Amino acid sequence: MKIAIIGAGNMGGAIARGLAQGTLVRAADIIVSNPSTGKLDALQADYPEMNVTTDNSVAVKNADIVILAVKPWLVDQVLGALRLDLRQIVASVAASVTFEQLVKSVGPEQTLFRLIPNTAISQLESMTLLSSRNADKEQERLMLDLFNELGMAILIPESQMAATTALTSCGIAYVLKYIQAAMQAGIELGIYPKDAQKMVAQSVKGAASLILNGDTHPSVEIDKVCTPGGMTIKGVNELDHEGFGSAVIKAMKACLK
């Protein structure tokens, strides 16, 4: 299986590196295209067997999967210049570009996927959203398998893309905002910044692991640490009094306006 990635920016480069570290694709079967060579040179420095080019047409020529990792306003221009085979899967990472728009460039019969990773893909910890058009079950399974190696992947209807992007791609920023705020509290309480950062980040990672690895619910896990008259319940109540939950919900909904 050969994969072409058009665009070696933050997302394209992270996908290339992630796939090369997985078990399903060899680095030698990945080719990355970019208009400038700096980022391509960096990729090859990390993975000498990976193929690179500045010519998009060369990149897609023998590819089974073409991953388009360019800015949304470049999608039509890039796709319009390519000669794609109907056997090829085309996957777009451009969050705002719909299947309806992609079809105008590639035609109604092309097998299409929309991919929405988040920035944790660079750590192989992305929450990646996938939607498909004209794909069979085997192709959907293949794409899920590829991106599950870069974290976790879920197949959803395209109609849910905007809402789920708020939870995942935008949502990671809100989690980081919590980490930043908790760090600042730690510093005010006399903890060195680097120590506070590690403590809070590991606590967030641990909380996520409780949910992902156990048959549980946030409320259940919160109750476990809220002893009567204890420290935690005082903080939880303060968060509720200050509208923490409401602020998170408003932030998620604001993404869609």
d(CA 155, CA 131): 6
What is the rounded (10 degree) CA torsion for 222, 225, 229, 235?
-60
CATH code given to domain 171-254:
1.10.3730.10
Reported for 106-114, long-range contacts at CB under 8 A and 24+ positions apart, including other chains, are 106/79, 109/134, 110/84, 110/86, 110/134, 111/86, 111/135, 111/139, 113/89, 113/143, 114/158, 114/161
Bridge partner list, 126: 151
What is the H or E stretch that residue 6 is in? strand 3-6
Contacts of 185 (CB under 8 A, 6+ apart): none
Residue range(s) occupied by CATH 1.10.3730.10 in the chain: 171-254
Is the CA virtual torsion 249, 250, 253, 256 positive or negative?
negative
Residue range(s) occupied by CATH 3.40.50.720 in the chain: 3-157
Per-residue exposure over 56-74, b if at least 16 CB sit within 10 Å of its own CB, e if not: beebbeebebbbbbbeeee
The pLDDT assigned to 15 comes to 94
* The two structure tokens encoding residue 86: 């109907």
The pLDDT assigned to 187 comes to 98
- pLDDT per residue, tens digit, the chain (257 aa), is 999 999 999 999 999 999 999 899 999 999 999 999 999 999 999 999 999 999 999 999 999 999 999 999 999 999 999 989 999 999 999 988 999 999 999 999 999 999 999 989 989 999 999 999 999 999 999 999 999 999 999 999 999 999 999 999 999 999 999 999 999 999 999 999 999 999 999 999 999 999 999 999 999 999 999 999 999 999 999 999 999 999 999 999 998 87
Name the class of domain 3-157.
alpha beta
Quick check: 106 and 99 in contact, CB under 8 A?
Answer: no
The pLDDT assigned to 14 comes to 93
The pLDDT assigned to 257 comes to 79
* The two structure tokens encoding residue 38: 């700096």
The pLDDT assigned to 218 comes to 97
